[in-house]
Amino acid sequence: MERGNYMYKMMIVDDEPLVRLALHHLIDWQALHIEIVCEAGDGVEGLALLKARGDIDLLLVDIQMPRMNGIQLLKALNDPVLTKRPLPIILSAYSDYSYVREAFLLGALDYIVKVDMDEDHIVPVIAKAVEELVRLGGVSKTNAIEHANKQLVQQSDKDALLQKLFDFDPKEDAESFEQWLLSANGLLNETNEMAIIIQIARGIDTTKLHSFIQQTIQTVLHEMSILHEIVRQEAGEYVLLCAFPNERSESAIRAHIHSALTMIQTRLLQYVNASISVGISDLANGSRQWPRLCQQAKQLAAKSYFAGVGKLFYRESASQESCVKDTGGHELWDYLRAGRLALLQALKQPDESQWVREYEQLEKRMYDARQELPDRVRAVFVDMLWELGAVLYAKGMRLEEIQPTSHNPFDEIKQMETLEETQQYVRQLLQRAHSVIHGNSLMNAARYSPSIASAKKFLDMHYREEINQSLISEMVGVSESYLSKQFVKEVGCNFIHYLTKLRIEEAKQLLELGIKISDISERIGYLNPEHFSRIFKKMTGFSPKAYRESLEKV
């Protein structure tokens, strides 16, 4: 018997609205003969819908939910009140195989890890479910699975075609570009086109989170009804090729895309703690404009090196900067070159304040290069390191011997995503170099960069008070994100962990003196004694009372 146009009914049960929304848009459900007919925010709501409807064929259910989780819902599917038992597939945000094993014992057909929720991962699982539903229903197989696989091949071909757009310069490779235009066959030939570059802040494992990041971008653009293609360039960089053929007002398009990008920013920060920097090109018409638009967007996104991550950069960002200050052509670069030489001479002087003064002047002028790409500014630091290496070599030392981290200094410079971060790192390197040049061992050299040393000193003195990272970063004159990353790199643990260690160490001493636990809690900065007890046990393995009793037994 042929299935014809029969549609299997599916319900999604997940407490995250974003996930439920994303699942609607990730694949072509109709091509698989599936219709999403309802959804629920937890197991209790889901079970009630199953009982009320009695016609659900396929169930996508999250493991971790309030009130009734996925495992409990699977157990409830055996309730005789249910007139029809749907075929369950598990959604897991944690790859928790102990839960997954239990789900299989309870009749789950398969599972999908949320960070892998993209077409490549979902279609095979759903196709398997459709095959099982056909078998259970006694209906002969149709071409639904073959059709889904064909769609994947077509998407792969389109992705390869879009990637080629970035492989050549249309001016230098005119013939290749014309061939590409013929291959594209109108794919990107629209009106009101705009290129957008989204760069994920470093420190986020974009390899593991790629599927979720792309899914989030895709979902928002679908929500906002924005015609688009997404191309993943290098790790952590996504190119959005958007078009607004039905819009006539540039201001309306700007407002539309700004809302979408702000929503993407918020969701990525909320769900995976990923900050993004975004470059937005101007508008143009026709596929011949895409290379120029993409280049413009890339240059704008690169401005995060000077302005900090987590911002949106429009073409006005460049024009405003050009009005702020005229760098005088080669004048800036000549100044920076002369400044480097003066800095190296100052390093040879015993008075530390001389090199610090020269370096601070260089730091200020580097921001005048913000119309340039970051690589040109990074090259200034690289040249500085080579010259510093020559000074150290004359003293019988190598640059690697004074590096503040285990990584090669040249590699560190290339990887740093903001000018502020780079300047702080090089300052620490210069500080260590000055110390060894003038006969001090690295043991006596400054162990921490100035900003981290100041933050650590403040914590050491004021850990009993109400302190937060925002306050400290403002006090030492660096951004909160820089303080967070640099504190871990130099101190070996994050800000909160260091603060907690200071407090717990004092608590141990006060427990030895027999002071009441509630008084100890208040003395070291915890107003809630129960919260203090939980933190203490987490750090030591003992409750405060048990720790005190262990001291009495010794």
Instruction: Give buried/exposed letters for 42-73 (b at 16+ CB in 10 A, else e).
Output: bbbbbbebbeeeeebbbbbbbbbbeebbbbeb
Q: pLDDT of 154-167, one tens digit each?
A: 556 677 777 777 76
Residue 114 carries which DSSP code? G
Q: Rounded distance, CA 209 to CA 276, Å?
A: 14
**What single DSSP character describes residue 302?**
T
- pLDDT given at position 525: 86
Give dist(CA 241, CA 451) in Å, integer.
41
Task: Tell me the chain's radius of gyration from C-alpha atoms.
Answer: 30
CA distance 554 to 550: 7
Q: Which residue type occupies 135?
A: R
- What is the value of pTM for the model shown? 0.59
- Rounded to the nearest 5°, which phi and psi values hold at 19? -65, -45
Q: Secondary structure of 459-515 in the HEC alphabet?
A: HHHHCCCCCCHHHHHHHHCCCHHHHHHHHHHHHCCCHHHHHHHHHHHHHHHHHHCCC
Determine the Cα–Cα distance for residues 46 and 120; give it in Å rounded to an integer: 27
Question: Which one is predicted more confidently, 414 or 443?
Answer: 414
Residue 10: pLDDT over 70: yes
Per-residue pLDDT tens digits for 512-530: 888 889 889 888 888 888 8
Contact 262, 165 (CB under 8 A): no
Most confident residue range from 74-88, 106-120, 134-148, 399-413? 74-88
Q: What is the mean pLDDT of the chain?
A: 81
Q: Which residue shows structure tokens 């959804």? A: 39
Question: Phi and psi (nearest 5°) for 526?
Answer: -110, 110
DSSP bridge pairs for 150? none
Six-digit token string for 228: 């688009």
Does residue 323 register a pLDDT over 90? no
Span 404-431, mean pLDDT? 84
Residue 9, Cβ neighbours under 10 Å: how many?
16
The pLDDT, as a whole number, for residue 279 is: 94
Reply yes or no on whether the pLDDT at 199 is more than 80.
yes
For the segment 477-506, what is each residue's pLDDT rounded down to a tens digit?
Answer: 788 888 888 888 788 788 888 889 999 988
The first and second tokens of residue 525, run together, are: 């900065």
CA distances from 467 to 180, 487, 490, 520 (A): 58, 15, 20, 18
Residue 147, pLDDT score: 46
